[in-house]
Amino acid sequence: MTRAQEIADLLAGVTITTADNTDTLTLVSTDADANVGPVMLFKRDSSSPADNDFLGYTKYSGENDADESTIYAQTFAQIIDASDGTEDGSFSIGTIDAGTLTTHLVVDSSGIDVTGGGTFSSSSSGEFNALTISQANNTSGNESRISFKRTTDAGSDREVAAIVADRVGGNDTALVFETNTDGSDGAIERVRITQDGNVGIGLDTPTMNSTGIAAHVHSGTSSTAAALRLTNADSGSGASDGFLVTLWNDDNAYVYNYENTNLIFATDNTERARITSQGIINVSDGRNDVGIINASISLSLADDASVDIFTNGAHLAGRGILSIYETAGGGGAVVSVGFGSSSILHQTTGSGEFVVANTDGKLCIINSAHGLSFKNRIGATKVFHLMLVSAGST
C-alpha cells in the first residue's frame, strides 16, 4: 500500500471541527516553480464508469430554524460522455430555493446554461447597474426577459429597460423592447416585432390591411404625431432636418422634405415625377422624358434671378405651352415653346414685359437645346405662377 493510500484510508470519513472562525482546513504548497499549487483532487475511481456518473460534490450546510441540518448550496461535477476520446463533462452550481435544492448554472461542452435567471452587476461610488436575465415556463406573457437595472437618486433598484420574449399563445412568440422615462420601477413597451414579422412602434398589435408584413408607427395620444424621419450625414439629424413621412397631430398626412433637394417618384426603376427644390412639379410618362407638366404657385424671384422650368431638354424634340403671370397684377403670357428650337409669344397682358429672349428690363423666357428657364430682369422682386404642358416626340 502506498503512503498516499494509507493517508486516504486514515482520513476516510474524517470530520474536522473548529469552535471559532479560523480556517478549518489549509492546504499549503512550498513548491518554488511556476506550476499551480496547492491542488485538491476529487477522483471517482470506478471500475465501470458510465455516462451521467457524478464525480464529486462540495456541499454548504447549516441549520434551519427547526434545528435541522440543511444544505443551502452545492457544487458538483458529472460525467456526460465517458467514451474514450470523446469524453465530456459538466460542472454545476445550485442553491436551495423554497426548500428544494435547485441547479442554477451548468457549464458543459455546449456552453453556460443559466436556469431560473441571472444577474450581472457592477457598482462604483455607491451606484448600482445590472443586467438581469430571467426565464419562465409561461403559456402566455413573459417567457424570457433581459432586464437592465440601475439605482435611482433615491437609492432604490429600478428596472429602466428590457428586452422580452413575449409568448402570445401556442408556440407564437413576439420580441418586445421596453424603456423607462420617469424613474419608476418597470419599463414600458415601446417596440414590438410580432411572431409574423410585423413591427409596431408605440403599439402591441401592428397590422396590415391585408396579408403582408408592416412597420406600423402609432401615437397613443391625439396631441402627438406618428412619424418616420430619415436623415444622413449631409442633412443633419435635428428636428428640421431630413425627410419626414407623418400623420401629424392635426390629423393631416405629410410627405415632408426639409432639405433644399428634389422629391422624386419612380416606378419600374424609372423616374415618373419630381417636385424640384424650387417647388416645380415635373410629371413624365417615361418615354424620352415627354409628357411634362411643370407647375409652381407663388414662385418668388429676385431681380436677375431665374428658375429652371425644365432641364435635360436635349432629350426632347417636341413642343409645349407655357402659361405664366405675375401674381401682383403685372401681366401674363402664353408662350409656345420649342425644346431645341425657337419659342413663340402668343398672347400677353400688361405692359409688354414678357419676351422670349434674355433681355434686360424684361421678364425673359429662355430656351435652348438643354432646357427651358424663366428669368426676372425687370429690376425688382416679383412673384409668379407658371405652368408648362408639353408633348414631345417619342
Name the grid cell of 152: 435611482
For residue range 127-177, what is the model confidence (pLDDT) as tens digits?
A: 555 666 666 666 666 678 888 877 665 656 778 888 888 888 778 888 999
> Is 275 among the domain residues?
yes
What is the arithmetic mean of pLDDT over 215-229?
A: 85
In total, how many domains does the chain have? 4
Question: Among residues 239, 261, 283, which one ends one of the domains?
Answer: 261
Question: Among residues 261, 290, 324, which one ends one of the domains?
Answer: 261
Of the two residues 201 and 209, the one the predictor is more confident about is 201
For residue range 42-87, what is the model confidence (pLDDT) as tens digits?
A: 899 999 999 999 999 999 999 999 999 999 999 999 999 999 999 9
Instruction: Based on the fold, state whether residues 153 and 251 are members of the same structural domain.
Output: no
Question: Per this entry, what is the length of the chain?
Answer: 394
Instruction: Based on the fold, state whether residues 70 and 126 are members of the same structural domain.
Output: no
Of the two residues 116 and 258, the one the predictor is more confident about is 258
Instruction: Based on the fold, state whether residues 122 and 235 are members of the same structural domain.
Output: no
Sign of CA dihedral 268, 269, 275, 281: negative
> Is 350 among the domain residues?
yes
Instruction: Based on the fold, state whether residues 132 and 162 are members of the same structural domain.
Output: yes
Q: How far apart are alpha carbons 197 and 264 in whole angstroms?
A: 29
> Is 27 among the domain residues?
no
> Is 35 among the domain residues?
no
Instruction: Based on the fold, state whether residues 272 and 378 are members of the same structural domain.
Output: yes
Instruction: Based on the fold, state whether residues 367 and 313 are members of the same structural domain.
Output: yes
Instruction: Based on the fold, state whether residues 323 and 228 are members of the same structural domain.
Output: no
Instruction: Based on the fold, state whether residues 152 and 47 are members of the same structural domain.
Output: no
For residue 289, the model assigns a pLDDT of 44
The values of phi and psi at residue 8, to 5°, are: -60, -45
Whole domain around residue 229: which residue ranges?
219-261
> Is 4 among the domain residues?
no
For residue 312, the model assigns a pLDDT of 55
First to last CA, the chain: 107
For residue 62, the model assigns a pLDDT of 93
Q: How far apart are alpha carbons 346 and 333 in whole angstroms?
A: 7
For residue 84, the model assigns a pLDDT of 95
> Is 202 among the domain residues?
yes
* Concatenated DSSP letters of 211-266: SS--EEE--SSTTS-EEEEE--TTT-SSTT-SEEEEE-TTS-EEEEE-SSS-EEEE
Residue type, 94: G
Q: How far apart are alpha carbons 25 and 214 in whole angstroms?
A: 65
Sign of CA dihedral 330, 333, 339, 344: negative
Instruction: Kindly state the DSSP code that residue 325 receives in the 8-state scheme.
Output: E
Instruction: Based on the fold, state whether residues 381 and 291 are members of the same structural domain.
Output: yes
Instruction: Based on the fold, state whether residues 192 and 163 are members of the same structural domain.
Output: yes
Q: How far apart are alpha carbons 296 and 274 in whole angstroms?
A: 12
Residue type, 203: L
For residue 343, the model assigns a pLDDT of 76
Instruction: Kindly state the DSSP code that residue 313 receives in the 8-state scheme.
Output: G
For residue 152, the model assigns a pLDDT of 61
For residue 377, the model assigns a pLDDT of 93
> Is 6 among the domain residues?
no
At 316, the pLDDT band (50, 70, 90 cuts) reads: very low
Instruction: Based on the fold, state whether residues 375 and 322 are members of the same structural domain.
Output: yes
> Is 328 among the domain residues?
yes
Residue type, 136: A
Percent of the chain with pLDDT strictly greater than 70:
75
Q: What is the pTM of this model?
A: 0.49
What is the arithmetic mean of pLDDT over 245-271?
A: 91
Instruction: Based on the fold, state whether residues 231 and 301 are members of the same structural domain.
Output: no
